[in-house]
Amino acid sequence: MNSRCIILLAHGSSDKRWCDTFEALAEPTLKGISNSRIAYMELAEPSLESVIHDGVAAGTREFTIVPLFLAAGRHLRKDVPAMIEELERATGASVLLTPPIGDNPLLGLAIKDIVAHQLDQGDDQ
């Protein structure tokens, strides 16, 4: 059991199909890693704020946010750190922000496998 809560943070969208894709992307993590959640910055639920407030209410004091973003732009450099500062102040929790998933070399290797898979599918047609 992992006392630290892992939050997969996506941007969010009013388009349900967009959120469905992120929920499918999160599924292996949510199933395989205990005390993990998905949350959205804006435009979709659950919000980052509600996930952290719920976690604190259930006794969690430490959170790690893994951004489901390929690269860091303004959101990850400015908006999310500001949200975290405010949530830490409001709840007393400790919230760690990791680099976005696209900074991890494992993701580039997965992309190569996906491209190879697309090419194989094309050959079958």
Question: Which residue number, 65 or 87, has a Cβ lying nearer to its own copies?
Answer: 65
Smallest separation, CB 63 to its own copies (Å) = 11
Of 1, 24, 57, 58, the residue at the interface with its own copies (CB under 8 A) is: 24
Q: Distance between CA 10 and CA 13 in Å, rounded? A: 9
- How far apart CA 90 and CA 79 sit, in angstroms, is 17
Q: Nearest Cα to 101, choosing from 4, 2, 9, 3?
A: 9
* Residue closer to its own copies (CB basis): 90 or 109: 109
Contact 66, 60 (CB under 8 A): no
Burial of residue 37, with CB atoms counted within 10 A of its CB: 0-12 exposed, 13-18 middle, 19 or more buried: buried
Q: Interaction with its own copies in 50-109: which residues (CB under 8 A)?
A: 64, 66, 68-73, 96, 98, 100-109
Smallest gap, in angstroms, from Cβ of residue 10 to its own copies?
Answer: 8
* 76 token code pair: 């990850």
Q: Could you tell me which residues come within 8 angstroms of residue 26 by beta carbon, excluding any fewer than 6 positions away?
A: 8, 10, 38, 68
Nearer residue to its own copies within complex by CB, 21 or 50: 21
13 belongs to the binding site for its own copies (CB under 8 A): yes
Binding-site ranges for its own copies (CB under 8 A): 2, 4, 6, 8, 10, 13, 15, 17-18, 21-22, 24-29, 32-33, 36, 64, 66, 68-73, 96, 98, 100-119, 122
